[in-house]
Amino acid sequence: MKRKWAGTLVASVLTMSVVLSGCGSSESGTKATPTGTDTPKQAVSGNKVTIKMAMWDVNASFIDFLSAKVKEYSKVDPNVNVEVEAFKNDGDYLKAMKVRLSANEMPDFFELKPNFINDFKSELLPLDDLSTTAKNKYAKKYAVDGKVLAMPTVQFPEMVYYHPSIFKELGLAVPTTWPQFLDVLNKIKDNKKYIPYAMGGKDAWPDYPFNEFMHHLTSGDENYLSNLATAAHPFAEGTPFYKAYSKIETLYSAKVMGPDPLGVSWDQATGLFESKKAAVVAAGLWYLDTYMSKVGNADDLAAFPMPVRDSESEPLTVMTFTDHFYAINKNSKNTEAVKKFMEWFYSPAVHQQYVDKVKLGAVIDGVTANVPFLNDFYKNNKITPFLYVPGNQKYTDLINATQLDWKTVGQDMISGKKLSDISKQLDDKWNKARDAKK
């Protein structure tokens, strides 16, 4: 999945060497102070050390915020300098980190997506003994071989954004089941005034709410992806994959995504939505910040859960994603200093400012993000959260061996490729890869 900080901007690398001593700064408009009773008070040693921190984000203002935040650590430990290296998208970031991994030049403290953890697990320091690990509500969910190797900083639900004014104009009710969802989109299409759904299919990744998440949700099993590695025919008729993709095939064949959904990029598609030429678009909470930056307000914006269920008697499950994991390089020369920095980085006071700035949900016990749009979403919808858990090493190996990309499969389906053919091809590739690894 690609998201705000994994967008399609041309990659560029911003390296910011932040010399902390004597350079403290503060954030205006925030509620928490930069230091608290749960932050380390003493220097790790009398020697000056430098912590190299690597991360990515396409949002320049967030990079500025994080850089300023990191400077405040000088008030906690004047003997520590932190150098922040920021990448503009996760694809280039991942490539760079893999090169450094092979050269044994990994940074001391670095960011990961949940599905990156397996690729770097041999280099990660277990975090089980950190006090902040016990306070992180999601850390243990992503343990590898019983050890917490990386911890998320945010969580957020996936949503279907819409313009209430269009729904009111056309007399549409918010759908809560898949048949209702299709009915709403078809009615918008029949009216001919608006594009029902803004799909940026040219970029492939915008179909992730359907092609990457729906079969996972349909399975009802957060560990579904790992279990795929042991299934003989995981894509055959009757499987969660086939049930979900049958719905997706119906959606794509309804032609409710404009005249050329594969010729439109994500930026173009969301531009249509933001200018009210399109009525609906699906994305995570991360899109809210982008929308606000372009439109200036959320006066005509609301969201409902993706209604994957067939009937209202079933739970309304919502994919919940965790992201911005951070880990410590076990080969760092400054592991004790990095551990103390990590304790501070995840402390409630700092975490409160972090989630308020990025406008996403909190992961630390006792912290609630001040994001009214998110709080209203939870208040107005009776949902059952469903946590995205990436596949294990066996699953990752099979994905790599078959070069399976859910989003590319989605593009094939939008172009008209039949599910029956896709199912057979995937099953054949999967079983050959499994046999080759026996």
pLDDT digit string (tens) for 317-338? 999 999 999 999 999 999 999 9
What DSSP letter does each residue of 13-39 carry, written as one string? EEEEEE--TT-----TT-SS-S--TTS
Res. 61 pLDDT band, cuts 50 70 90: confident
Res. 10 pLDDT band, cuts 50 70 90: very low
Q: How far apart are CA 151 and CA 126, in angstroms?
A: 11
CA distances from 87 to 105, 328, 338, 343, 382 (A): 17, 18, 21, 24, 37
Can you give the pLDDT at residue 92? Answer: 87
pLDDT digit string (tens) for 181-226? 999 999 999 999 999 999 999 998 999 999 999 999 999 999 999 9
pLDDT digit string (tens) for 271-311? 999 999 999 999 999 899 889 989 999 999 999 999 999 99
CA distances from 33 to 23, 29, 156, 173 (A): 17, 11, 24, 44
| Cβ within 8 Å of residue 22, ≥6 positions away | 74
Closest CA to 438 of 396, 399, 397, 404: 397
Q: Are 300 and 279 in contact (CB under 8 A)?
A: no
Mean predicted confidence (pLDDT) in 90-100? 91
pLDDT at 2 over 50: no
Q: How far apart are CA 377 and CA 317, in angstroms?
A: 14
pLDDT digit string (tens) for 368-423? 999 999 999 999 999 999 999 999 989 989 998 999 999 999 999 999 999 999 99
CA distances from 379 to 28, 36, 288, 304 (A): 29, 31, 17, 11
Which strand (E) or helix (H) includes residue 382?
none
Q: Are 128 and 144 in contact (CB under 8 A)?
A: no
pLDDT at 36 over 60: no
Strands 195-197 and 278-284: parallel
Structure tokens at 192: 């001919």
Among 53-67, 68-82, 344-358, the range scoring the smallest mean pLDDT is 53-67
Give the percent of the chain with pLDDT over 90.
79
Q: Are 137 and 340 in contact (CB under 8 A)?
A: no
